[in-house]
Amino acid sequence: MLILSMESIGLATTSSPLAEADAILQNPALTVSQAQGALSIYESLLPGALTERGALLLRLTHSCVILGDLLEGDNSQRRPYFEKGQVYAKLLAMEEPGTVAGPYWLGLNLAGEAASKGIFGGRALLSETLQELQRALAIDERYDEAGPHRALGRLYYLIPGPPLAMGDPIKSLDHLTVAVRLAPENSSNHLYLAETLIRLGEKEQARQELVKVFSATHHALMPKDLEKDRRKARQLLSEMDGASN
């Protein structure tokens, strides 16, 4: 599980280059250049990794999602990282078949690429994205703090509904409700559920979830995004208060 504690993956020692890269990604003020540096360290270690390759491939595909997130708003720059992340995730799935990490991180990188191409350009990737995340869900719904449920719930919220695509706020609600139950410490689980509830007109339930964002202690992707979730929750609460006046 890649939740704020890379030591759970194993492989690193306190003085190794791997540990240095892991520590970089835990920086609450992580920058693009720092994340690129961590990715470069992981990539330099891969050719000589005769054992524990899975742990290294996991770091590589995860780092690509991080970089794509940090480069949000610059689709031409972020897309190559999502494409590279898919390569590492496919290698991971091939070398460790039947485990959750390969399909899960493949699904996240596919979702990132789809988002970088826009509603119409990314539509062709949606079916494969859902397929990989459903595969991850079937293996371990608790992985990455209910990551398969969180990712599916968010995807069903973000993509258009029929006939353009398969978006569905009820499916989003179902997955995110489970995500909150399984991993209440995760800020995004509460934030995403709140946004889905707002869309469904359940304002008071949404408010309760937004308040919980501030007491959540973990963010699934990187520590830096914990504050990002809190800013978004404050914004939504302010908008709700303004609408009620």
Q: Among 48, 49, 42, which residue's Cα sits nearest to residue 25?
A: 42
What's the CATH class of domain 1-120? mainly alpha
Residue 181, Cα to own-chain centre: how many angstroms?
18
Say how far apart CA 26 and CA 85 lie, in whole Å.
Answer: 19
Q: Which fold is adopted by the domain 141-245?
A: 1.25.40
The pLDDT value given to residue 120: 67
Q: Where are the domains of the chain?
A: 1-120, 141-245
Query: Which of helix, strand or coil describes residue 224?
Result: helix
Any alpha helices (H) in the chain, and if so which ranges? 17-25, 32-45, 53-70, 75-95, 101-121, 123-139, 143-158, 169-182, 187-199, 203-213, 224-244
**pLDDT tens digit at each of 245 positions of the chain:** 333 334 334 445 556 899 999 999 999 999 999 999 999 999 999 998 877 899 999 999 999 999 999 999 899 999 999 999 999 999 999 999 999 999 999 999 999 999 999 866 788 899 999 999 999 999 999 999 999 999 999 999 999 888 777 889 999 999 999 999 999 999 999 999 999 999 999 999 999 999 999 999 999 899 989 999 999 999 999 999 887 66
Greatest distance between any 2 Cα atoms in the chain: 63
Could you tell me the pTM of the whole model? Answer: 0.90
